[in-house]
């Protein structure tokens, strides 16, 4: 019954609608960005279906890949972090945590229900965003084979070619893999939320910490730190877009992210089970 | 149902509860009374297992709330103030979802039970409206309804009459009495509305700054408590003269003074006043009402604390005549 209660509350909240609206807005901005960039590059003579850097390889799948790449790193973690903040700190701040704890329900069960629901939400949001990006790419540009070159996304050090069917299959694989990657910031936000009673502080700290770690993991100065940061492994889903997937690297990153997630959620549960509710 | 022995709780260096002894049996109704910050909600939070006692022992339904909160909640139900509810859910959904949490081995709540609870608090007609649109009083009533669904053995209510109109307060009193008579429900409530407490409860625990100020039946609080009032030709000077002689007084209105305590040697008082050229026009003893008796206790506690700590403390209550008297 607690799971049903939490589901109903989430669905009736504005959070999912707000997240979807923001992601749609982000995709619209990306589309606009591509279009204006193309206009600049072609001196205003733009045929949107075959523009951007190179008309030979840009299509709806490339657009979806670019949109997901940036959205995954910068937009989705914000909503995921907010989810952690809402579930523990938000509930505490609103006083409803006491309402739940005043029922014969163990803290461990309450925590695991909330975490499971947040994980499901994060997975749905990741999949929804990916599907939306593919849909917008199909409608606005049109699909085709995926060609990746060394460049902006640092996805490949050489030219990679995936035909459309294979690329779509790989996009499908990306969903669970990217969802797993998103569990680490989600569990981090639960951890901070178990300590900070203000939801604003919990969300702000989660987002700030994620961004700091993300930036550190992207800067070459901190190369020695990278293996110790969960953000270094988060973009491992890009491996799935290679012609030959390095499964060992995928498994290592997945294991690392799962480890971080278990650590964060374990610490969060330990804190939640022993904290007072004044 | 509740047994506290030497219960204490600290928030950092501050003692929120200090050595509280309290017993509440099945079918009894008790009230926690005291000014804001006296430790009432801290006591209830400890009983709910939300706070870990720093010292002493506390058992609710035979279990330690901090360690066995889940078992305590199988028998007891709490409604804290202000009532926190899920804004997106309707009143009926609140009762259905909360009432069916963790009912292992027991059948689910029947629709009739939910209807009965809603009707009992007067929310039947708005049962399918979302709580976000409810007034404070309606939230308070829903909080009571959820605490009664399913019916517990012990009901703990924090400021249950806040935001309720007089009729609803009367109805609440009837509900609690009926539940006690029919089902042997034990009730512990904290309240500022002393008149309600006086009419309803079997036991009273008065707290002040985390310490027990009085414990017993309400009528015992005012039993034997009498004050002496006097009228003098110059009340201001009379107060100074008496203070210098060791009698503290408080203005009682209409040019009268009230002597703290009751055992006063009136002949000595008259002699002192006469020596200062002040005429004693009259004096009389007066029994204290429940509220006045409580007020006197709190004032006495304040005076004692001031002496002990050599600094003034403030005792405030949120509403009612006591608050006004204390501020005066």
- A100 contacts in B (CB within 8 Å)? 101
Domain ranges of chain A: 2-43+50-274
Closest residue in chain B to residue A272, using alpha carbons only? B50
Q: How far is B1 from chain A (nearest CA, A)?
A: 16
Q: Can you tell me the distance from the alpha carbon of B17 to that of B205, in angstroms, rounded to the nearest whole number?
A: 13
Q: Are B151 and B103 in contact (CB under 8 A)?
A: no
Q: Do A5 and B101 touch (CB under 8 A)?
A: yes
B151 at interface of A, judged by CB pairs closer than 8 A: no
Q: Are A60 and A134 in contact (CB under 8 A)?
A: yes
Q: Which phi and psi (to 5°) does residue B257 adopt?
A: -120, 145
> Three-class SS of residue B9?
strand
Q: Can you tell me the distance from the alpha carbon of A182 to that of A127, in angstroms, rounded to the nearest whole number?
A: 11
**Strand (E) or helix (H) holding B169:** helix B166-183
Q: Do A102 and B48 touch (CB under 8 A)?
A: yes
Report cis status (omega within 30 of 0) of the bond before B150. yes
Q: Can you tell me the distance from the alpha carbon of B139 to that of B135, in angstroms, rounded to the nearest whole number?
A: 6
Q: Residues near A87 by Cβ (< 8 Å), separated by ≥ 6? A: A114, A115, A117, A118, A190, A193
Rounded to 5°, the CA angle B301-B258-B214 comes to: 30
> Three-class SS of residue A161?
strand
> What's residue B310's pLDDT?
33
Buried b (16+ CB within 10 A) or exposed e, A113-152: bbbebbbebbbebbbebbebbbebbeebbebbebbbeeee
- CA-wise closest residue to A144 among A58, A35, A238, A53: A58
Q: What is the pTM for the complete model shown?
A: 0.81
Q: Can you tell me the distance from the alpha carbon of B152 to that of B185, in angstroms, rounded to the nearest whole number?
A: 7
DSSP letter (8 states) at residue B75: H
10-residue block means of pLDDT along chain B (328 residues)? Answer: 92 89 91 88 94 94 93 92 91 91 73 87 90 88 88 90 81 84 89 74 88 84 72 86 82 78 69 87 75 75 53 33 40
In DSSP terms, B189 is beta-bridged to B31, B157
Q: Can you tell me the distance from the alpha carbon of A215 to that of A231, in angstroms, rounded to the nearest whole number?
A: 9
Q: Can you tell me the distance from the alpha carbon of A199 to that of B182, in angstroms, rounded to the nearest whole number?
A: 44
Q: Do A8 and B93 touch (CB under 8 A)?
A: yes
Q: Can you tell me the distance from the alpha carbon of B315 to that of B295, in angstroms, rounded to the nearest whole number?
A: 10
Residue A76 region by backbone torsions, left for phi larger than 0, else alpha for psi between -120 and 50, else beta: alpha
Q: How far is A101 from chain B (nearest CA, A)?
A: 8
Q: Residues near A176 by Cβ (< 8 Å), separated by ≥ 6? A: A123
> What's residue A186's pLDDT?
95
> What's residue A42's pLDDT?
64
> What's residue B328's pLDDT?
37
Q: Radius of gyration (Cα) for chain B, nearest Å? A: 23
- CA-wise closest residue to A181 among A208, A209, A210, A153: A210
- B155 contacts in A (CB within 8 Å)? none
Each residue's pLDDT tens digit, A221-263: 888 888 889 998 898 898 898 888 889 999 999 999 999 999 9
> What's residue B59's pLDDT?
95
> What's residue A159's pLDDT?
79
Q: Are A130 and A52 in contact (CB under 8 A)?
A: no
Residue A148 region by backbone torsions, left for phi larger than 0, else alpha for psi between -120 and 50, else beta: beta
Q: Can you tell me the distance from the alpha carbon of B183 to that of B27, in angstroms, rounded to the nearest whole number?
A: 8
B85 at interface of A, judged by CB pairs closer than 8 A: yes
- A9 contacts in B (CB within 8 Å)? 86, 88-89
Q: Do A277 and B51 touch (CB under 8 A)?
A: yes
Mean pLDDT of A2-23: 90
> What's residue A30's pLDDT?
87
Q: Can you tell me the distance from the alpha carbon of A141 to that of B201, in angstroms, rounded to the nearest whole number?
A: 75
Q: How far is A205 from chain B (nearest CA, A)?
A: 25
Q: How many CB atoms lie within 10 A of CB A156?
A: 16
Q: Do B84 and A95 touch (CB under 8 A)?
A: yes
- CA-wise closest residue to B197 among B213, B216, B173, B174: B173
- A278 contacts in B (CB within 8 Å)? 11, 45, 50-51
B140 at interface of A, judged by CB pairs closer than 8 A: no
Q: Which phi and psi (to 5°) does residue A49 adopt?
A: -65, -25
Q: How far is B129 from chain A (nearest CA, A)?
A: 13
Q: How far is A38 from chain B (nearest CA, A)?
A: 46
pLDDT(A52) > 70: no
| More confident call, A9 vs A36 | A9
Q: Can you tell me the distance from the alpha carbon of B226 to that of A46, in angstroms, rounded to the nearest whole number?
A: 97
Q: Can you tell me the distance from the alpha carbon of B241 to that of B279, in angstroms, rounded to the nearest whole number?
A: 12
Residue A171 banded pLDDT, cuts 50, 70, 90 = very high
Burial of residue A275 (CB within 10 Å: 0-12, 13-18, 19+) is middle
> What's residue B181's pLDDT?
87
> What's residue B244's pLDDT?
86
Q: Are B75 and B24 in contact (CB under 8 A)?
A: no
- CA-wise closest residue to A137 among A34, A6, A255: A34
Q: Can you tell me the distance from the alpha carbon of A82 to that of A78, in angstroms, rounded to the nearest whole number?
A: 6
Structure tokens at A77: 């973690």
Task: Output the CA torsion sign for A163, A166, A172, A177.
Answer: negative
pLDDT(A85) > 90: no
Q: What is the ipTM of this complex?
A: 0.79
B77 at interface of A, judged by CB pairs closer than 8 A: yes
Contacts 24+ apart (CB under 8 A), A239-245: A240/A170, A240/A173, A240/A174, A240/A177, A241/A65, A241/A146, A241/A148, A241/A155, A241/A156, A241/A160, A241/A162, A241/A167, A241/A170, A241/A174, A242/A155, A242/A156, A242/A160, A243/A160, A243/A161, A243/A162
Q: Are B70 and A107 in contact (CB under 8 A)?
A: no
Q: How far is A93 from chain B (nearest CA, A)?
A: 10
Beta strands B186-190 and B29-33 are parallel
pLDDT(A50) > 50: no
Q: Are A245 and A167 in contact (CB under 8 A)?
A: no
Each residue's pLDDT tens digit, A104-159: 999 999 999 999 999 999 999 999 999 999 998 888 878 888 887 776 666 777 77
- CA-wise closest residue to B196 among B115, B131, B291, B292: B291
Chain B from 6 to 45: CB within 8 A of any A CB: 11, 45
Q: Are B172 and B139 in contact (CB under 8 A)?
A: no
> What's residue A46's pLDDT?
56
């Amino acid at each position: 019954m607690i799971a049903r209660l939490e589901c109903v509350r989430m669905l009736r909240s504005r959070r999912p609608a707000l997240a979807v609206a923001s992601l749609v807005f982000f995709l619209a901005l990306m589309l606009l960005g591509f279009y204006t960039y193309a206009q600049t590059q072609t001196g205003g003579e733009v045929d949107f279906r075959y523009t951007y850097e190179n008309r030979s390889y840009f299509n709806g799948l490339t657009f979806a890949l670019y949109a997901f790449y940036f959205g995954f790193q910068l937009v989705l973690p914000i909503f995921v972090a907010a989810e952690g903040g809402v579930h523990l700190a938000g509930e505490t701040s609103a006083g409803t945590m006491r309402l739940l704890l005043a029922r014969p329900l163990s803290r461990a069960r309450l925590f695991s229900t909330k975490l499971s629901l947040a994980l499901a939400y994060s997975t749905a949001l990741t999949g929804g965003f990916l599907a939306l990006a593919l849909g917008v790419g199909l409608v606005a540009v049109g699909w085709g084979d995926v060609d990746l070159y060394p460049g902006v996304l640092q996805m490949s050090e050489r030219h990679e070619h995936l035909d459309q069917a294979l690329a779509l299959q790989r996009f499908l694989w990306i969903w669970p893999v990217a969802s797993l990657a998103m569990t680490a910031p989600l569990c981090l936000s639960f951890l901070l939320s178990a300590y900070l009673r203000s939801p604003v502080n919990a969300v702000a700290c989660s987002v700030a910490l994620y961004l700091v770690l993300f930036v550190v993991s992207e800067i070459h100065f901190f190369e020695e730190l990278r293996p110790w940061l969960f953000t270094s492994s988060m973009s491992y889903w890009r491996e799935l877009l290679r012609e030959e997937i390095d499964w060992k690297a995928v498994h290592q990153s997945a294991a690392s992210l799962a480890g971080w997630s278990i650590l964060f959620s374990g610490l969060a549960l330990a804190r939640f089970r022993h904290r007072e509710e004044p | 149902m509740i047994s506290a022995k030497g219960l204490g709780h600290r928030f950092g260096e501050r003692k929120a509860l200090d050595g509280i002894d309290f017993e509440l049996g099945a079918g009894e109704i008790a009230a926690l009374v005291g000014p804001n910050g006296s430790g009432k909600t801290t006591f209830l939070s400890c009983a709910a297992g939300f706070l870990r006692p720093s010292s002493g022992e506390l058992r609710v339904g035979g279990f330690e709330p901090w360690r066995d909160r889940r078992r305590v909640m199988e028998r007891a139900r709490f409604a804290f103030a202000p009532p926190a509810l899920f804004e997106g859910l309707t009143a009926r959904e609140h009762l259905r979802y909360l009432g069916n949490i963790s009912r292992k081995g027991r059948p689910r709540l029947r629709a009739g039970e939910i209807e009965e609870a809603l009707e009992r608090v007067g929310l039947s007609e708005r049962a399918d409206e979302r709580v976000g649109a409810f007034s404070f009083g309606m939230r308070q009533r829903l909080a009571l309804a959820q605490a009664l669904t399913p019916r517990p053995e012990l009901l703990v209510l924090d400021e249950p009459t806040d935001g309720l109109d007089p009729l609803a307060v009367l109805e609440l009193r009837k509900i609690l009495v009926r539940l006690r008579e029919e089902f042997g429900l034990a009730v512990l409530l904290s309240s500022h509305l002393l008149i309600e407490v006086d009419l309803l409860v079997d036991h009273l625990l008065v707290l002040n700054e985390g310490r027990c100020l009085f414990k017993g039946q309400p009528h015992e609080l005012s039993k034997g408590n009498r004050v002496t009032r006097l009228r003098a030709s110059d009340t201001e000077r009379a107060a100074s003269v008496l203070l210098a002689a060791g009698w503290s007084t408080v203005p009682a209105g209409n040019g009268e003074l009230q002597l703290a305590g009751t055992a006063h040697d009136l002949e000595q008082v008259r002699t002192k006043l006469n020596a200062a050229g002040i005429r004693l026009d009259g004096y009389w003893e007066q029994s204290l009402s429940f509220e006045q008796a409580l007020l006197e206790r709190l004032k006495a506690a304040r005076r004692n604390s001031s002496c002990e700590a050599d600094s003034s403390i403030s005792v405030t209550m949120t509403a009612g005549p006591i608050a006004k008297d204390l501020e005066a």
